[in-house]
Amino acid sequence: MQSDALIWIPLTLGATIAQVFRTARQHELRQFLSSSGAAYVRFLFAWPFALLFGTLACLYMPRGVDIQRAFWIWSATAGVVQITGTVLLLQAFRARDFAIGTVYSKAEVVLVAIGSAVFLNEPLRGPGWLGAAVVLVGVVLLAAPAGFESALQRWDDRSAWLGIGSGLFFALSAVAIRGAATSIVAASLWHRTCLTLLTILSYQALLHGLFLAVTDRSQLVAIWKYRAKCWPVGLMSFVGTTGWVSAMAVASAPKVRTLGQVEIVLAFFISLGRLREQHPLRDYLASGLVLLGVILVVVLG
């Protein structure tokens, strides 16, 4: 791994932290918004920030930048599948069992590696595949408070299938973001990030907004009514997505998304150190597995 490419690691970790805060605030919005409405907040209120940075990027665009046709296709794909994944995940949380939905959404770890190999011809090396599998086992153990066997026994639960669906679409969105960012040639990391982010969020704000206007206009009214509670979600979404896009402009999608799974380990250590909560030995083992798998993917993948 080249030393000048290591910037994707702090970018990914920053995006992960922002995502933790965004998810917490977005979860609160479900008190007065539907799953689709809460998902739209993430895109709508992040769009003005993306517009500002995208405009600056266009004003200071260096000569020789080539935006290939594939960029628009990948960006549209990323926008649509990310909307779908977000809605499915929020529905999984509402479908009677938060934990089971979370467990099965973690299938993204392996799915993004498969998608990257198939669609972008960027497969992990042998140790990387092993690391992705180890991370998957670790995050499932941490996310399943009732135990791994209990989660597997409930694979036919509606929340489980919603979780699997969200993981699939999030994996596709990661692959598409990587495809879009690498379809801008002869541009700096800043330009690739700003242009990709603005394009994807524009698709999402427009398409999802039209969908709500046709199917559930009351959600748009509710979003405006509670806009003071919505904009922090948009800000955190913008910060997090900026980190994901810029990281994927440098490194492959499987590496970025696998490293992002340290989110669940951070939550574990916060509960352990700050909240003084007691945890079984299984949780310590699971945390170790996640960290081991991340190392295998990042260093040897």
Tokens of 149: 């066997």
Cβ count within 10 A of residue 167: 26
Q: How many Å apart are CA 108 and CA 18, to the nearest integer? A: 19
Q: pLDDT value at position 22? A: 85
Strand partners, 67: 184
Stated as kind and residue range, the H or E segment containing 184 is strand 184-185
Strand partners, 185: 66
**136 pLDDT above the threshold of 70:** yes
Q: How many Å apart are CA 100 and CA 161, to the nearest integer? A: 9
Of 39 and 97, which is predicted with more confidence?
Answer: 39
Is residue 211 very low, low, confident or very high in pLDDT (cuts 50, 70, 90)?
A: very high
Residues 6+ apart with CB under 8 A from 225: none
- Cβ atoms of 150 and 160 within 8 Å: the answer is no
- Lowest mean pLDDT: which of 14-28, 39-53, 98-112, 127-141? 98-112
**301 pLDDT above the threshold of 90:** no
Tokens of 206: 């427009």
Considering 100-104, 153-157, 220-224, the range whose residues carry the highest mean pLDDT is 220-224
**48 pLDDT above the threshold of 80:** yes
From the list 296, 299, 301, 300, the residue with the least C-alpha distance to 134 is: 296
Average pLDDT over residues 235-263: 92
Average pLDDT over residues 230-234: 93
Is residue 101 very low, low, confident or very high in pLDDT (cuts 50, 70, 90)?
A: low
Of 271 and 139, which is predicted with more confidence?
Answer: 139
**57 pLDDT above the threshold of 70:** yes
Q: pLDDT value at position 273? A: 58
Cβ count within 10 A of residue 236: 23
Q: Within the chain, where are the H helices? A: 8-29, 35-44, 47-59, 69-94, 98-105, 108-119, 126-143, 148-153, 158-181, 189-215, 217-225, 227-250, 253-259, 262-273, 281-295
From the list 107, 117, 124, 151, the residue with the least C-alpha distance to 282 is: 151
Average pLDDT over residues 151-170: 75
Of 300 and 93, which is predicted with more confidence?
Answer: 300
Dihedrals phi, psi of 185, to nearest 5 degrees: -100, 145
- Cβ atoms of 83 and 39 within 8 Å: the answer is yes
**141 pLDDT above the threshold of 60:** yes
Q: How many Å apart are CA 23 and CA 28, to the nearest integer? A: 9
Is residue 4 very low, low, confident or very high in pLDDT (cuts 50, 70, 90)?
A: very low
Domain boundaries, given as residue ranges, for the chain: 3-300
Per cent of the chain over pLDDT 70 is 85
Q: What's the whole-model pTM score?
A: 0.88
Please tell me whether residue 13 adopts helix, strand or coil conformation: helix
From the list 120, 246, 117, 115, the residue with the least C-alpha distance to 172 is: 115
C-alpha distances (whole Å) from 147 to each of 141, 153, 158 are 7, 10, 18
Q: pLDDT value at position 3? A: 42
Q: pLDDT value at position 118? A: 93
**155 pLDDT above the threshold of 70:** no
**15 pLDDT above the threshold of 90:** yes
Dihedrals phi, psi of 65, to nearest 5 degrees: -70, 130
Is residue 107 very low, low, confident or very high in pLDDT (cuts 50, 70, 90)?
A: confident
From the list 71, 59, 27, the residue with the least C-alpha distance to 197 is: 71
Please tell me whether residue 67 adopts helix, strand or coil conformation: strand
Q: How many Å apart are CA 105 and CA 88, to the nearest integer? A: 10
**276 pLDDT above the threshold of 80:** no
Per cent of the chain over pLDDT 90 is 53
**164 pLDDT above the threshold of 80:** yes
- Lowest mean pLDDT: which of 111-125, 144-158, 253-267? 144-158
Q: pLDDT value at position 146? A: 60
**137 pLDDT above the threshold of 80:** yes
Tokens of 37: 């409405």
Residues 6+ apart with CB under 8 A from 184: 65, 66, 67, 68, 71, 191, 192, 195, 196
Q: pLDDT value at position 92? A: 74
